[in-house]
Structure 1
């Protein structure tokens, strides 16, 4: 043998020995026991042959223990007792991989006793139309007869019984077995789940789901989504007999409805909508600003325009991605808009945004919270319950912003108290504006003085239902009439929530300007309003889950189709003029692909 062949032989021998070594070192699995039941019932004196099946390796040891005493060391074992009672039998099997045991409960029944029924559960759950084969085991020392009763009606007299029904519900089945010593009864409850229900719905469309007929008289009904192809969906009224479902993504959504026992599966196929949808405002339904410095300019009033004309102009300005800004004027002025689809109330996310023109101030007291030009508009929302495309008979819900009930938790609240602002929240506020008697401004100061300016300080009179009154000031920057020119009546009344005054003259903090300077900072509320934070700020996003009903309860809306915004503050801010909410583009954040987490209220 030459050196080359010798080397090959040595390498082969090394590999073979290594393989043998690896094989011998492999872990041996512990044995597994099968072929034995957990419970047996026999007559006293009868033999019970137990023949287990052992897998995983070669067992080295068998031990049968009866009530703790070892009775056999073989694979198979025959149990036989002449004394009635309960016995505990344990099989222990051991090999190189470990040890395992199986516990068995054996009941020995006296002879000359009524029958003993086993191999039947107390409760079964099946789907409608599915067969349930019931085959009990009977222990008796004499001949027996059988009687099956379904809801008290005899249905069979055989040992075995096949249950099947298409009707969902809860059924009581009784088996009576009789011998010469008496009758034994076994009661079984069978829960029959409903057949699968299949429905279809387009994306961004609310689907009403009615509970099956068998749940008509049930109080505790619960709906649940089992699996979904996307998180962009909402199931509302999930604890009622009529739930509402809406989804943004196509696919199959599997739900079930149950009373805690009986279930029905609902397979919802969400398909593509037939029309092209837009993320943005699709229609303006109404527009009525309160008197303000931008009224009749944003949008532009033309002589002879009617209310319908101004609604049309607001529509031209607000619809679509390239929207222009309109004003709502002073407190109470409003606009009502709609979308061409339902904006989905996705749990844990902000759902839509209505742009304004809020911005942050360059100046303010050190350490102050965000503020600048923040002119919050209160938001009302509705969904198209009657599906007629109009916000007519649909219920409106209030988006509960951070100060809709109290402003105590606003970070600037102490500043406002110190400044003697009106920090109350009025939820039943009414305010009436009166048409101005004159439009020509007055010169304030000496005519030749360069600091003189033109204004009307007592311009548009107003009064509210809280025994307050005052005037809207006409400033030097805007000289058109501030009263909506298309309104022929001499007064206008608005109703709603009035928020606390958030504007504070912080002029003394402006570098290089004396303490008497006027520099109003309008501080932002924490969340829940339009024109309150800059448009790109997450806090301009609105969560539909903030909606409450007229009693202050969470609304649990599936989504919304309509939005109404009205100015929430009545305050004059020096040369800035009145607090006036401005509205621009509105968008569905989910359809636009923007994910903004919500905050706890």
Structure 2
């Protein structure tokens, strides 16, 4: 075989192999494209732009967009914008060798009903007239600059909205096939807001060993001057503590804004002076020490007059609201034979003491029959004056000789763990109270979603403006004295950037 023939033979074989490879390559499909990075549905307003920019995995030769069956674009991204309200089906079709892949997106286009408000302010939203008379109206946030917002509704064409973060919030309103979109523009108010207590509206402690000391009573003080002292003590960032005295004593405070009820988070806390015991002789005890739980009531400024006057109060339903049976110290309390009754409609009346000194030279020996009390359970007795505090335990600025308080009386939580009257431990309830855990403990945080109405029904509050705290336990703890809730500043956790997950009771 000569060289020329060999060359022609080799050349023919090479052409055949190349042709075969091309044919095989043409017949073998590539890996199919995968379309991700876009949602199945969107909500947008008339004439607003929505940039759709999908992520395409694997090679693609062409990306075609159709809107309601009409070809709209051939590009890697598409800027959707229409002038008419309605529902639009957008189909993305990706092509490569041997593959055609589609993804369908539904875009609801509505006409905006725009409103404007400030951060941490309750705004009433109203749906358009076409929703009039509907009782199945659904409200939902479909676009927001953060998760720190709340929309509260009960099926009506109106809803309450508040947000912590400025920006634009898109709200979808729907009832059956009826759909609208509202745009709420949230701005920062001109006057800066504080996360801490801004005002004290009322204060009346029940008799207790720190009354007339926290704050300090001075001769001539009136209700107004004492209220000013309370305000100076617990308003603002740098604060101390006031006492609420024995069971029922209370304080009412407010903020310069609405504390937003953010879903899934604890929203605020009321500081106290609770702390844990250092040397509890009980082995492996639950948290306890000086825990003097204050019951918390909340309200929002429904009439928008800045005062807690005609606004409804709601109870923050704590873990001991109806019974202490689920508290970790319950079994020990049975053994200790403390009063474990929870009394929901309790009343207690204190009498001004007839005698302040026991007739001893130092004037600080205890007085067992000091302040007489009666309750609506047919019981009566006396509060003790101990050896550590010689001032009057009855609020000296109060002119009335009797003080009556009403509310919920929690189970007693204090136990003599020494068995000799020398070491008392006041145990914490699981959640829901002031002065119950140390302030830096997450369990001191309060979720507004724990609020219930006077009938015990859960309520859906957009936020709160006012807080009332009153001493929840009526108990004498030997030389330690009575349970008395102490209160410091209140704090909006969201404005402070503190994220504490809630629990579901």
- Tell me if 1:584 matches 2:488: yes
1:195 Cα deviation after fit = 2.7
Aligned to 2:397: 486
Q: Root-mean-square deviation (CA), in Å? A: 2.6
Q: What secondary structure is seen at the aligned counterpart in 1 of 2:357?
A: coil
Distance of 2:120 and 2:501 partners within structure 1: 20
Distance of 1:589 and 1:331 partners within structure 2: 28
For the 8 Å contact 1:391–1:562, the answer to whether it is kept is yes
Q: What secondary structure is seen at the aligned counterpart in 1 of 2:499?
A: coil
Distance of 1:239 and 1:481 partners within structure 2: 54
- Tell me if 1:391 matches 2:308: yes
Superposed CA deviations along residues 331-356 of structure 1, whole A, max 9, x for unmatched, are 00000000000001100100001110
Distance of 2:327 and 2:306 partners within structure 1: 38
Aligned to 1:441: 358
Distance of 1:500 and 1:408 partners within structure 2: 10
1:23 Cα deviation after fit = 11
Distance of 2:357 and 2:229 partners within structure 1: 27
Distance of 1:25 and 1:566 partners within structure 2: 82
- Tell me if 1:470 matches 2:381: yes
Matches within 5 A, 1:527-546: 527-546=431-450
Task: Select the structure with the greater relative contact order (CA < 8 A; seq sep ≥ 6).
Answer: 2
Aligned to 1:196: 112
- Tell me if 1:343 matches 2:241: no
Aligned to 1:565: 469
1:193 Cα deviation after fit = 8.2
Superposed CA deviations along residues 424-470 of structure 1, whole A, max 9, x for unmatched, are 11110000000001000355xxx99xxx9711011001110001111
For the 8 Å contact 2:299–2:308, the answer to whether it is kept is yes
Distance of 1:238 and 1:227 partners within structure 2: 21
Question: Which of 150, 156, 163 lines up with 1:247 in the alignment?
Answer: 163
Distance of 1:194 and 1:215 partners within structure 2: 14
Aligned to 1:507: 418
For the 8 Å contact 2:134–2:156, the answer to whether it is kept is no
Question: Which of 283, 288, 310 lines up with 1:371 in the alignment?
Answer: 288
Aligned to 2:42: none
1:328 Cα deviation after fit = 0.1
For the 8 Å contact 1:194–1:262, the answer to whether it is kept is no
Larger radius of gyration: 1
Q: What secondary structure is seen at the aligned counterpart in 2 of 1:239?
A: coil
Aligned to 2:335: 418
- Tell me if 1:225 matches 2:141: yes
5+ unaligned residues in a row in structure 2: which ranges?
A: 1-16, 33-68, 70-81, 88-107
1:300 Cα deviation after fit = 0.8
Distance of 1:349 and 1:430 partners within structure 2: 34
Aligned to 1:309: 225
Residues 304, 30 of structure 1: alpha-carbon distance in 2 compared, 3 angstrom cutoff: closer
Distance of 1:30 and 1:546 partners within structure 2: 53
Distance of 2:473 and 2:321 partners within structure 1: 11
1:539 Cα deviation after fit = 0.5
Aligned to 1:429: 346
1:542 Cα deviation after fit = 0.3
5+ unaligned residues in a row in structure 1: which ranges?
A: 1-16, 32-118, 120-126, 133-191, 509-515
Superposed CA deviations along residues 266-308 of structure 1, whole A, max 9, x for unmatched, are 0111111111110100000000000000000100111111111
Residues 196, 238 of structure 1: alpha-carbon distance in 2 compared, 3 angstrom cutoff: farther
Distance of 2:504 and 2:188 partners within structure 1: 33
TM-score, length-normalised on structure 2?
0.79
Aligned to 2:29: 28
Residues 238, 219 of structure 1: alpha-carbon distance in 2 compared, 3 angstrom cutoff: closer
Question: Which of 361, 372, 380 lines up with 1:461 in the alignment?
Answer: 372
Residues 521, 195 of structure 1: alpha-carbon distance in 2 compared, 3 angstrom cutoff: same
Residues 131, 415 of structure 1: alpha-carbon distance in 2 compared, 3 angstrom cutoff: closer
Q: What secondary structure is seen at the aligned counterpart in 1 of 2:366?
A: strand
For the 8 Å contact 1:404–1:425, the answer to whether it is kept is yes
1:30 Cα deviation after fit = 9.8
- Tell me if 1:216 matches 2:127: no
Matches within 5 A, 1:290-305: 290-305=206-221
TM-score, length-normalised on structure 1?
0.67
1:228 Cα deviation after fit = 0.9
Distance of 2:160 and 2:22 partners within structure 1: 62
1:28 Cα deviation after fit = 2.5
